[in-house]
Structure 1
Amino acid sequence: MADEIHKNKQLSHWIQREISDRIPEIVSYLREQEQRFFNSIIVGIYGGKPAWQGLSIDMKDLKLTEEESDYLDKTFGILRLTGKEEMFAIDGQHRTAAIKDAIAVASELETEEVPVIFVAHRTDYEGEIRTRRLFSTLNRYAKPVSTSEIIALDEEDNAAILTRKLIEQSSIFTDKIAFNKNKSLSLSNKNDFTNIILLYEIVITLLTDKIFIKSLPIGGEKYASFVSRRLSEDKLTKIYDGLVSEFEEIINGLPFLRTFFEGGTIDRKANTTNLIFRPIGQIVFFNTYRIAKHHKKENLVIKYFSNDGFNLNHPVWNKLFVDPGTKNTVVTQQVQRAAILLLLSKFNIPFSGTPKDKELINNLSIDVTSL
Structure 2
Amino acid sequence: MADYVPALKAKMGDWQYYVTVMKLGKIARECRIAEEIRPNRDLNELVQREITARVEKEMVPYLLKESQRFYGALVVAVYGGEPEFSPVTVDEHHLLDDTNRSTYGFGLLRFDGSQIYYALDGQHRLRSIQKAIELNADLAKEEISVIILKHEETPAGLQRTRRLFSTLNRRAKPTTAGQNIAIDEDDIVAIVTRRLVKENDSIKSLVSIKLGSKQIYQNKYDYPYITTLAAFYETNEILLNCYEGGLDIDKNFKQFRPSNDEIDTYYYFLEKIWIRLLQKCPGFESILNGRRQPGDLRKRTENNGTPVFDDSGKPIAGGNVFARPIGQFIIAEVLKAVGVQGRSTDEAIDAIMSNISMDIDQAPWVGVIWNPSAQRIIGGKAERAMIASIIIHALGLKIKRKVRELRQKYRETLEDPKAKLLPPINWSGRPDSVSSDNEENVSGAEEEY
TM, length-normalised to structure 1:
0.85
Of 233, 239, 245, the match for 2:272? 245
* Residue 161 in structure 1 maps to residue 184 in structure 2: no
Of 122, 144, 148, the match for 1:118? 148
Partner of 1:4: 36
| Cα distance in 1 between the residues matched to 2:155 and 2:391 | 62
Asked if 1 retains the 8 angstrom alpha-carbon contact of 2:282 and 2:353, the reply is: no
Percent identity over the alignment is 27
Query: How far apart are residue 55 of structure 1 and its match?
Result: 2.4
SS of the equivalent of 1:116 reads strand
Q: Structure 1 residue runs of 4+, over 4 Å off?
A: 7-13, 355-361
Of 14, 18, 23, the match for 2:46? 14
Partner of 2:83: 50
SS of the equivalent of 1:77 reads strand
Query: How far apart are residue 146 of structure 1 and its match?
Result: 1.7
Query: How far apart are residue 184 of structure 1 and its match?
Result: 2.3
Asked if 1 retains the 8 angstrom alpha-carbon contact of 2:133 and 2:140, the reply is: yes
* Residue 321 in structure 1 maps to residue 369 in structure 2: yes
* Residue 203 in structure 1 maps to residue 223 in structure 2: no
Partner of 1:23: 55
* Residue 79 in structure 1 maps to residue 109 in structure 2: yes
Distance 1:16 1:144, change over 3 A: same
Cα displacement string for residues 156-182 of structure 1 (whole angstroms, at most 9, x for unaligned residues): 222111112112223442433221222
Greater strand proportion: 2
Listed as ranges, the gaps of 5+ residues in structure 1 are 210-217
Query: How far apart are residue 352 of structure 1 and its match?
Result: 3.6
Partner of 2:136: 106
Query: How far apart are residue 58 of structure 1 and its match?
Result: 2.3
Query: How far apart are residue 264 of structure 1 and its match?
Result: 4.5
Partner of 1:349: 398
* Residue 362 in structure 1 maps to residue 412 in structure 2: yes
Asked if 2 retains the 8 angstrom alpha-carbon contact of 1:323 and 1:330, the reply is: yes
Distance 1:295 1:271, change over 3 A: farther
| Cα distance in 2 between the residues matched to 1:221 and 1:34 | 24
Greater helix proportion: 1
Distance 1:224 1:319, change over 3 A: same
Cα displacement string for residues 178-213 of structure 1 (whole angstroms, at most 9, x for unaligned residues): 21222222325554342222221122111149xxxx
Q: Which shows bigger deviation, 220-229 or 92-101? A: 220-229
| Cα distance in 2 between the residues matched to 1:92 and 1:50 | 22
Asked if 1 retains the 8 angstrom alpha-carbon contact of 2:364 and 2:422, the reply is: no
Asked if 1 retains the 8 angstrom alpha-carbon contact of 2:189 and 2:236, the reply is: yes
| Cα distance in 2 between the residues matched to 1:268 and 1:256 | 7
| Cα distance in 2 between the residues matched to 1:42 and 1:358 | 57
Distance 1:3 1:219, change over 3 A: same
Query: How far apart are residue 325 of structure 1 and its match?
Result: 5.4
Query: How far apart are residue 104 of structure 1 and its match?
Result: 1.5
| Cα distance in 1 between the residues matched to 2:124 and 2:253 | 20
SS of the equivalent of 2:118 reads strand
Distance 1:316 1:254, change over 3 A: closer
* Residue 140 in structure 1 maps to residue 190 in structure 2: no
Cα displacement string for residues 50-95 of structure 1 (whole angstroms, at most 9, x for unaligned residues): 22222222278447385xx28x725222211111112111211111
Residue 92 of structure 1 aligns with an amino acid whose one-letter code is G
Cα displacement string for residues 229-282 of structure 1 (whole angstroms, at most 9, x for unaligned residues): 211222212222222233334344445445533444231342253210112211
Asked if 2 retains the 8 angstrom alpha-carbon contact of 1:2 and 1:12, the reply is: no
* Residue 236 in structure 1 maps to residue 263 in structure 2: yes
Query: How far apart are residue 337 of structure 1 and its match?
Result: 3.0
Query: How far apart are residue 316 of structure 1 and its match?
Result: 4.1
Matches within 5 A, 1:267-282: 267-272=296-301, 273-282=319-328
Residue 248 of structure 1 aligns with an amino acid whose one-letter code is I
Distance 1:363 1:329, change over 3 A: closer
Distance 1:312 1:171, change over 3 A: closer
CA RMSD of superposed structures (Å): 3.0
Partner of 2:249: 222
Q: Which shows bigger deviation, 290-299 or 105-114? A: 290-299
| Cα distance in 2 between the residues matched to 1:326 and 1:252 | 30
Distance 1:74 1:6, change over 3 A: farther
Of 72, 88, 92, the match for 1:39? 72
| Cα distance in 1 between the residues matched to 2:93 and 2:377 | 72
Residue 365 of structure 2 aligns with an amino acid whose one-letter code is W
SS of the equivalent of 2:366 reads helix
Matches within 5 A, 1:297-308: 297=343, 298=345, 299-300=347-348, 302-307=350-355
Q: Count residues with an aligned counterpart.
A: 359
| Cα distance in 1 between the residues matched to 2:320 and 2:98 | 70
Distance 1:82 1:133, change over 3 A: same
* Residue 293 in structure 1 maps to residue 293 in structure 2: no
Distance 1:112 1:126, change over 3 A: same
Query: How far apart are residue 362 of structure 1 and its match?
Result: 1.9
